[in-house]
């Protein structure tokens, strides 16, 4: 089975390194970025199933990065990580394309891993559903074509 790919974007090296180790222990393939620019470059060059985006980055706001990634990689699950928990923050993150919102420091790591797992499960289901729809569409069109030819 192919490993799910995760991109972590945070400017704190210790946080970045530890989350990479934790997610790799769970069997994910993990890449990291310390700036918004690096995150955009990496997400354009590689496929990631999910991104963990810190809300404050040295070169841009995490929400700005969300807007840009929503356009280029719309199917990637984006979870915003913030040390500034507020309703406004959450609303802004969701409006700019975040699929999830977690507050730093994340105390319960198991719960966090379950959140990641749930999002990836939903993504897989959505993908399966759209593949099924495409298959059904092709089948219907093929049948219509056959009927016409008869």
H-run or E-run covering 63: helix 62-72
- Rounded CA-CA distance 118/77 in Å is 11
> Judged by CB under 8 A, which stretch of 41-49, 69-77, 78-86, 122-130 contacts another protein?
78-86
- 108's tokens: 């319960």
* Position 58 contacts another protein (CB under 8 A): no
Measured from the CB atom, the residue of 19 and 101 that comes closer to another protein is: 19
- Residue 18 is a binding residue for another protein (CB under 8 A): yes
Residue in 98, 93, 101 with CA at minimum distance from that of residue 74? 98
> 3-class SS at 1?
coil
Q: Which positions from 84 through 143 interact with another protein, judged by CB under 8 A?
A: 84-88, 104-107, 109
Q: How far is CA 58 from the centre of its chain?
A: 21
| Residues near another protein (CB under 8 A), total | 19
**What does the binding site for another protein look like in residue numbers (CB under 8 A)?**
12, 14-15, 18-19, 21-22, 25, 83-88, 104-107, 109
């Amino acid at each position: 089975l192919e490993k799910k790919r995760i991109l972590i974007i945070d400017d704190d090296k210790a946080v970045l390194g530890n989350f990479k180790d934790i997610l790799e222990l769970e069997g994910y393939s993990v890449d990291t970025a310390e700036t918004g620019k690096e995150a955009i470059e990496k997400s354009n060059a590689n496929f990631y199933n999910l991104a963990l985006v810190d809300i404050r980055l040295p070169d841009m706001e995490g929400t700005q990065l969300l807007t840009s990634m929503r356009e280029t990689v719309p199917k990637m699950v984006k979870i915003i990580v913030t040390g500034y928990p507020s309703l406004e923050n959450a609303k802004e993150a969701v409006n700019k394309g975040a699929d999830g919102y977690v507050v730093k420091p994340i105390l319960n790591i198991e719960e966090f891993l379950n959140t990641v797992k749930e999002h990836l499960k939903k993504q897989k289901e959505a993908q399966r559903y759209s593949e099924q729809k495409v298959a059904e569409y092709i089948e219907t069109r093929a049948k219509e074509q056959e009927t016409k030819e008869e």
